[in-house]
Amino acid sequence: MALHRLSFRIRQTVIHARQYSVAVQSEVEPLAIFRTEEIDPACHTESHVGQYYTLPSAESRCLFIRGLARSYQQQMKTFNEACIMVRSPALEVISYLKNTDYSKPASRFLFYGPKGSGKTMSLCHTAHYCMRQGWLLLTVPDAHLWIKNCKELLPSSYNMSRFDQPVQATEWLRSFRNTSEPFLSKIKTKNRYVWTRREFTEEGSSLRELVDQGIRRFKSSTDVVGAVMKELRLQSGQPGSEFRLAVAVDGVNALWGRSTIKKLDKSPVDPEELSLVCNLRKLITDTWTGGAVITTLSQTGSVYTSKFDYLPQELLGETGFDNMDPFIPVLVTNYSQKEFESCHLYYMDRKWLQHPQSRTEEGKKELVFLSSRNASSFDRLYKMALFLPTPILLALFLTAEVTVSTGLTDCIARDFGHESVVCECNSTYCDSVGSLVLPPVGQYSTYLTSMAGSRLEPGQGQVQVNSSGTGLRLTINPNQKYQRIRGFGGAMTDAAAINILSLCAGAQDQLLRQYFSPEGIGYRVVRVPMGSCDFSTRLYTYADTPGDYNLDSFTLAPEDINMKIPLLQRAQVLSPQPLYLLASAWSAPAWMKTNSALIGKGSLNGKPGGKEHKTWAQYYIRFLEEYAKYNLTFWAVTTGNEPSAGQMTNYSFQALGFTPEEQRDWVALDLGPALHSWSHPQTHILILDDNRLLLPYWAKVVLSDIQAGRYIHGVAVHWYFDSFVPAEISLGVTHHLYPEYYLFGTEACAGWSGLDRGVKLGSWRRAEQYAHDILEDLNHYVVGWTDWNLAVDLTGGPNWVKNFVDSTIIVDAQHNIFYKQPTFYAMAHFSKFLWEGSQRVGVSSSEETQLEYSAFIRPDGSVVFIILNRTSSAIRFEVWDPIVGYIPSTAPARSVLTLVWNTH
């Protein structure tokens, strides 16, 4: 067997490498020079080992955007550059590729090593070499995702014994189109493909037509992936072929691992039954010529194996080993001392390592001790070391994270006479439900918040085989699928930053943890005003010098540099996932506007395409560039806060008026092209950013224009005056007219109305308003919901125009405490449980009910069911999930209830 033939050779390789690794670590090496100007991998030699090189932005976008190393993409955004360390394993494979005879069957290379040692980045370095040599690059990042957490599984239309995965297939085709753009028009198909009675791809069609067919037609996407791989396999290395093919697969062992995907009868799907896996297995054979297969082994891709296994025979198993044989194994070890020094210097250069103690020799020794020079451990440690001294890091790690991840703690309730209570927090104590762990299949968890005083109160129950006979039954329909969730969050206004920083350091940390840490409520979205808004203490923009069309005077304000940016950095460190930053501008500089003022009725001078409009678009770019210098990159920008306000005479605070026609033309002629040509063209543009009662008219004007529409990703809505227009007429119609654009809630707050203004500590009615509006939005295709200020003071400010409102957290700086409002917990019922990628599914009711509800299936297959009861009586009901059974429950009077359960 191949396993026995190669096991001795691999053992010798491992032994040799481990001896070499020990030898390297014992050497005393000079301080590494951590950067090299040589950006061509073909010119890298052993003298460059340990040095970082910077990929040109166009090449990094091609290689990483929707491509390899998805976890590395956050670092790219944070550092505003793509850098790869030159290491010996990649140089070894590049040397092989330089000397390979490509008339022979494709060589296969396998990077393997301990978890987190840098195998994926060695793969990226090698793939970049192939890209630079003009190869066609076919990448499969995170191959394990093809056998886990499948978003949609359909019977194959081509082979009834297999299953199609149209969501994964479509995602892969988009990635392939990105990395292979120069080749798509040149390569012609050798076969005719029939998709339906009316749709087919003729022999001789371009590969672009084939790829576009799969992206355009969801049900054909899996078959198109197979056709693309077949065409490349048949044409590579053949006479007249104009390309050399590099197949790069991260985590190739997943193709022979155990799947976690379940069939309808709950039996596991074998990877061999997945069409995508079968097609990829054919491509990584050595039955074709004119290229190479470069792969990694990933512990993540081997379900049910020990986390310490990393040898090929351990992770591939006998079947996978036999299928890969013959291959060239290349060991990737943890960093050498020289590589460690380079990594340390690089992080300091990018301002990622800021605490003075972390820069000392003693600090470096502790970091080495904590990470064992493992690349992945380094990354996690440096994120934490951004603000923590190394002795604290040491304490955290030696207590196995017990100090960081707290369990359930009770609310310190305070009653201020507004229906319910607030929970008081200080520098040493704050209530928390902790990190959530679901019970096994057959049981379910409940979390209750109520006017009576419960705050995310946990409970557990047993799923029943038979119905309880309760009159009201809510039935989950997992086959009725709607939108996927992006996330929830709040705004880091000047006022929010002032209030957070008015607390002592310990209380500041407690407050930020409540929102962003794993034991908090899972905020992922942070809206950031571009310049001043009403929740500032003064009027300002970033370019107040009249006539400065080149924006030479553009500079961030002290409010950004000293307050918002440091807090955003701290929030990102606390968050286990990258934050989605969203920028909104309230007003252009006064000299650009028709009324020469930041407030009141006024719009941009001139017309779209003119110098004021182009300067305003460049203002956005400069803002994004300045924040990027602090390792903060933005997921999206809006076209401006509430453009309708800028059309109102005597409007009392900052505003910039746009009609939908003006907004359409500004996006098409100025903002869209400016962002598209910038170094981060993937930044999303959201239109409207105003009340939803303006829909669907506003969307029809803007999105019906092809030139504007191609730059736009979504529609941003505010919650004010929501009761004036039914959600189905505004949100529902907009979605049905333009389903390719997502709907996103970007602002909401309580206490904004003149009849009910300011802070009300403990108001339960406002919590119900939040839960009702979120449920209504989610049930009408909205993918995220953003609260307004993350924190205000006891008066509802500061606000320079005294437009005081309420917030989910109220700061009492005088007593160095803060209060979590009932609205905080209303938000938590959504933000903590609905992970990114959770998909809304259908729910049917057996009878009329006053309960409001929505159900979602999370990426791991678990189900979240959220129920709001605004009545004064408890309501009994049962949930029927056809996959697991019956869940009996009761929604207490005036309560929000979240049910969660596993399905496998």
Active site residues: 642, 747
What sections of 629-693 are H helices per DSSP?
Answer: 660-666, 672-677
Residue 476: φ, ψ to 5°: -80, 135
- Angle of helix 275-283 relative to helix 221-235, nearest 10 degrees? 10
DSSP string, 166-185: HHHHHHHHHHHHHHTGGGTT
Question: Measuring CA to CA, which residue among 574, 430, 580, 621 is closest to residue 491?
Answer: 580
Query: Rounded to whole angstroms, how far apart are CA atoms 523 and 281?
Result: 39
Phi-psi category of 827—alpha, beta or left, where left has phi over 0 and alpha has psi -120 to 50?
alpha
Residues ≥6 apart with Cβ < 8 Å to 302: 253, 254, 257, 309, 315
Q: Is the peptide bond before 696 cis (omega within 30 degrees of 0)?
A: yes
Q: 3-state SS of 274-340?
A: EHHHHHHHHHCCCCCECEEEEEECCHHHCCCCCCCCCCHHHHHHHHHHHHHCCCEEEECCCCCHHHH
Using the Cα atoms of residue 55, residue 61, residue 62 and residue 67 in order, give the sign of their dihedral.
positive
Query: Rounded to whole angstroms, how far apart are CA atoms 622 and 678?
Result: 10
Query: Rounded to whole angstroms, how far apart are CA atoms 449 and 457?
Result: 7
Question: Measuring CA to CA, which residue among 531, 671, 662 is closest to residue 606?
Answer: 662
Half-sphere exposure of 618 (CA within 13 A, CB side): 16
Using the Cα atoms of residue 292, residue 297, residue 298 and residue 303 in order, give the sign of their dihedral.
positive
The tokens of 758 are what? 């300011």
Query: Rounded to whole angstroms, how far apart are CA atoms 638 and 333?
Result: 45
Question: Measuring CA to CA, which residue among 766, 784, 786, 788 is closest to residue 856?
Answer: 784
Question: Measuring CA to CA, which residue among 706, 791, 686 is closest to residue 746?
Answer: 686
What sections of 427-550 are H helices per DSSP?
Answer: 494-501, 505-516
Query: Rounded to whole angstroms, how far apart are CA atoms 655 and 601?
Result: 7
The tokens of 638 are what? 């809006």
The tokens of 748 are what? 């909401």
Q: What are the b/e assignments for 61-85, b being 16+ CB within 10 Å?
A: bbbbbbbbbeebbbbbbbbbbbbbb
Cα separations in angstroms, 433 against 262, 365, 578, 819, 896? 31, 36, 22, 16, 15
Query: Rounded to whole angstroms, how far apart are CA atoms 37 and 511?
Result: 43
Q: Is the peptide bond before 726 cis (omega within 30 degrees of 0)?
A: no
